[in-house]
Amino acid sequence: MLNKASDFLCWLVALFLSPLVKDKELTTVSMGIFEEIILNILADKMKFTYEIIPPSDILTLGYLQPNGSWTGTTGQLQRKEVDMCVTTSAPASSKTPVQDISYPVVYVDSAIVIPFPKEETKWIVTSTFKNKEASTNPTLKKIADNMRKHPERRILNAFTVDDISTIVKEEAALVLVKSTAESFIENSYKINKECRVTLAEKTFFSRPQTFSYPKHSPIVKTVDYNLLLLQQAGLIQYAEKRSAVPYNRCSVSEAKKIAANKVVPLKLKDVAGAFSILILGFILSFILLFIECIFKKMSTK
């Protein structure tokens, strides 16, 4: 599809996040809605049209193969099948040889999804191994070390399951962008009518999320400039608010607050004391009235 302003063919990649990809098997998450809003604003401002091309091999950012090739959207960028990847991700040095990254679109908190209500795990499984492997963040480095010991525990289908609690269970955990994790937790609650997964408390760390392009792409500077304008105009913040999950009903701390402030309906046994006092007062009043009547009758004689 031709970009009328710059005369370049702009194919954009959507990765596992509906509504960018219209697929019944994929889960709708808030970051997908955020990216759709930003993409449509860019398309309107820069006067281009786009087509979504999801990766054909694996619906993730991708993994580096022994032969040097990448799978997922990184593979699409490496093979120059697309002009841009709109699924935001954290920059990783391992991908530098095959892709360029944009101006930071947004800063997000990462979180760890764990079974509810436990908060301690003996090992970590994650669907974003390569991003963690090269990180200098102490938390991510510890996770990466654990993952190198147990590569068989990596989760590759986290974004394609209906219920995240089917893979995050027992001693498993999943490292995700916090907003995406909250979307998964909300979907799980709607399916099971109870909280089966939650976020580990006090484990969040912020990181930039960027779009990505094939190496030496001619559209990098133009898109980056417009992303900066969107940031200055407050449209990035607008997209964040529009896409945010309004309330995490499976938060452990919130659950404790709700339980502490919950109004418990009164039962008969709760008011039994009041009724006992009332009956006792009635009996005493009757006895006093009876005695008074006796004294009055005696005085009249």
Predicted confidence band of residue 264 (pLDDT cuts 50, 70, 90): low
The 10 Å CB-count burial string (b at 16+, else e) for 193-210 is eebbbbbbeebeeebbbb
Domain spans in the chain, listed from the N-terminal domain onward = 12-256, 268-300
Does the domain at residues 12-256 carry the CATH identifier 2.60.40.10? no
Helix axes 220-233, 30-46, angle to 10 degrees: 110
pLDDT tens sequence across 118-166? 544 444 444 444 444 555 566 666 666 776 777 666 666 666 677 888 7
Residue 232 has pLDDT above 80, yes or no: yes
Residue 263 has pLDDT above 60, yes or no: no
Given a contact cutoff of 8 angstroms between Cβ atoms, the answer to whether 110 and 175 are in contact is: yes
Closest CA to 246 of 193, 176, 159, 182: 182
Rounded CA-CA distance 234/231 in Å is 5
Dihedral angle computed from the Cα positions of residues 45, 51, 55 and 56, in that order, rounded to the nearest 10 degrees: 180
The two beta strands, 174-177 and 106-115, are antiparallel
Q: What are phi and psi of 121, to 5 degrees?
A: -130, 150
Q: What confidence score (pLDDT) does residue 266 get?
A: 58
Closest CA to 16 of 69, 108, 89, 101: 89
The helix/strand/coil state of 48 is coil
pLDDT tens sequence across 158-216? 666 778 887 787 767 777 778 778 888 888 888 888 888 888 877 667 778 888 999 99
